[in-house]
């Protein structure tokens, strides 16, 4: 029997405060028209003083546990993707662990910026398939607003805060249409550090730093890298693009999402788009979009879904799964 990692529940959380483009235009010299035209973003959420990556991650995790109908104490692995942890250490995963009563299980963070959720999912899937764990929480959670330079209009209008979580369970089946993760492909290329980074860190400036991005250069790499990793992962899975029910892309820019779908010949009515509501929530964007589409009934059990993301590093990746 083949052991696969099956999604048995999803959840998400957003900060209470929603911030429109009109509000951003009071902070920097920009306009609703420019932001919508260049990125597709209309709204984002910013965490208040009592909201952190840890509180958002915990809320999303608890909702995923309720959706799965299981208790937190039955989780034996937590992998959390974030680039904006509450503390430099310990890992945010251990904060979630304590809040959901899964004390004692494996819990750690991964750092792959906007591709973080894909990296976390690939890691958890490998650990589940090799028997190191049986039920995992995989979380993407960010408070990007804490590392935005609100004097840089080229970046501060593009990001938002939020969290998304899934519960993965190891299940055995040899059925051709078995649920679970089918294939994952991940990449990184450290040659492009200066195109997208944060200008600080514990070991250099001793500060957290702020996001710096050469947006139009990142844009070109994003469309090419995403189209090629999608082709790679579909080939690994032996699946034609036409068989895909839904693509859940990283939500950085509507034009990147449309450009990638076009390269693969995928119609936009099979692509989940939330960038207008959430902006770029980095590692949280894919699980946030997934949860939204599961809860509104678009993504259904048994359907073929592709997840993809690209971010700082550069890092990029894609996963094919049957819900």
Q: Are 163 and 139 in contact (CB under 8 A)?
A: yes
**Could you identify the residue written with the tokens 């990638």?**
260
CB nearest ligand UT7: which residue? 215
Closest to ligand UT7 by CB, 9 vs 313, is: 313
For residue 253, state whether it binds ligand UT7 (rule: CB under 6 A): yes
**Residue number with CB closer to ligand UT7 (117 or 246):** 117
Which residue in the block uniquely carries the two structure tokens 């809860």? 295
8 A C-beta contact, residue 106 and residue 130: no
Residue 156 annotated as catalytic: no
Among 128, 256, 290, 305, the residue binding ligand UT7 under the rule CB under 6 A is 256
Tell me whether the omega of the peptide bond preceding residue 314 falls within 30 degrees of 0, making it cis: yes
Nearer to ligand UT7, 38 or 187 (CB): 38
Smallest distance from the beta carbon of 83 to ligand UT7, in angstroms? 10
Interface region with ligand UT7, contact rule CB under 6 A, candidates 32-40, 63-71, 91-99, 138-146? 32-40
CA atoms of 219 and 85, how far apart (whole Å):
26
CA distances from 253 to 113, 163, 168, 221, 240 (A): 16, 18, 28, 13, 25
Rounded distance between C-alpha atoms, residue 131 and residue 139, angstroms: 20
Binding mask 196-235 for ligand UT7 (x = CB under 6 A): -------------------xx-xx--x-------------
Smallest distance, Å, CB 212 to ligand UT7? 12
Count how many Cα atoms sit within 13 Å of the Cα of residue 272 in the half-sphere of its side chain: 28
Residues binding ligand UT7 (CB under 6 A): 30, 34, 38-39, 114, 153-154, 157-158, 215-216, 218-219, 222, 252-253, 256, 280, 310-311
């Amino acid at each position: 029997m083949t052991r696969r990692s099956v999604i048995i529940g999803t959840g998400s959380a957003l900060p209470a405060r929603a911030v429109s483009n009109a509000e951003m235009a009071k902070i920097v010299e920009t306009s609703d028209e420019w932001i919508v035209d260049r990125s597709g973003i209309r709204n984002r959420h910013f965490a208040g003083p009592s909201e952190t990556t840890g509180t958002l991650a915990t809320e999303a995790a608890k909702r995923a546990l309720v959706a799965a109908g299981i208790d937190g104490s039955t989780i034996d692995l937590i992998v959390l993707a974030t680039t904006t942890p509450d503390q430099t250490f310990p890992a945010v995963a251990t904060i979630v662990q304590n809040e959901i009563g899964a004390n004692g299980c494996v819990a750690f963070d991964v750092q792959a910026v906007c591709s973080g959720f894909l990296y976390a999912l690939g890691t958890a899937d490998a650990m589940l398939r090799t028997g190191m764990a049986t039920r995992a929480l995989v979380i993407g959670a960010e408070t990007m607003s804490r590392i935005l330079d609100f004097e840089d209009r080229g970046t501060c209008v593009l990001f938002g805060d939020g969290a998304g979580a899934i519960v993965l369970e190891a299940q055995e089946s040899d059925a051709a249409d078995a649920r679970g993760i089918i294939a994952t492909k991940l990449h990184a290329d450290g040659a492009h550090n200066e195109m997208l980074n944060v200008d600080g860190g514990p070991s250099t400036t001793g500060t957290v730093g702020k996001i710096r991005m050469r947006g139009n250069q990142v844009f070109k790499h994003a469309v090419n890298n995403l189209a090629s990793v999608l082709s790679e992962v579909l080939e690994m899975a032996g699946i034609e693009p036409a068989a895909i029910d839904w693509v859940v892309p990283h939500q950085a820019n509507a034009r990147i999402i449309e450009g990638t779908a076009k390269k693969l010949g995928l119609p936009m009515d099979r692509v989940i788009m939330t960038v207008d509501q959430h902006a770029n929530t980095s590692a949280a964007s894919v699980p946030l979009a997934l949860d939204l589409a599961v809860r509104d009934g678009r993504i259904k059990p048994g359907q073929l879904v592709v997840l993809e993301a690209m971010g700082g590093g550069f890092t990029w990746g894609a996963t094919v799964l049957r819900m």
